[in-house]
Amino acid sequence: MGKILIPRLSWLLLTCLMLSQSPLLAADATITVTKEQGGREIALKVGNILLIELPGKGGTGYSWLVEAAGAPYLKLMDHTTRQLKEGRLGGPDRLGGPVMQVWRFKATQPGACEIKIAYYRPWEGVGKAVDHFRLKLHIE
């Protein structure tokens, strides 16, 4: 009996996994991308939320600014900047302290697009950017 029961249980488990929806494939899934993942290609489904988190230094004048936002395939929902906690050297309100800029996009229609974000001082212009972030997206 044990020889028959194990293959049947395995088959039942495999069937359940194949028929269930993975949370990563759900239409309302949230995918978070960090600086280290820049330059990659990512697949999304219509309805997915894309969070992009990029670190910076507050009070320096430098900021991450979006050059290309993937329209009309993506809709920018919001953009926030938050202070990060620091170690022994000072609190989060210290000039030049670390910050995290976060963009929240929603995939609105199928297609391919690219997000481009540059780190520069707005008064100096994008030509003086000291860093760049790019992400290619394929939306189904």
93 contact partners, CB below 8 Å, separation of at least 6? 83
Instruction: Summarize pLDDT for 22-42 with one digit per residue, the tens.
Output: 444 455 688 899 999 999 999
Is residue 38 in some structural domain? Answer: yes
Domain-located, residue 2: no
CATH code for the domain of 81 = 2.60.40.2020
Q: Beginning with the edge strand found earlier in the chain, give each strand of the sheet holding 111-120 in spatial order.
A: 41-44, 131-139, 111-120, 63-69
How far is Cα 136 from Cα 18, in angstroms, rounded to an integer?
28
Q: Count how many Cα atoms sit within 13 Å of the Cα of residue 122 in the half-sphere of its side chain.
A: 5
Where in the sequence is the domain holding 95, given as residue range(s)? 26-139
Domains in the chain, number = 1
**Tens digits of per-residue pLDDT, 68-86?**
888 899 999 999 998 887 6
Counting Cα atoms < 13 Å in the Cβ hemisphere of 95 gives: 2
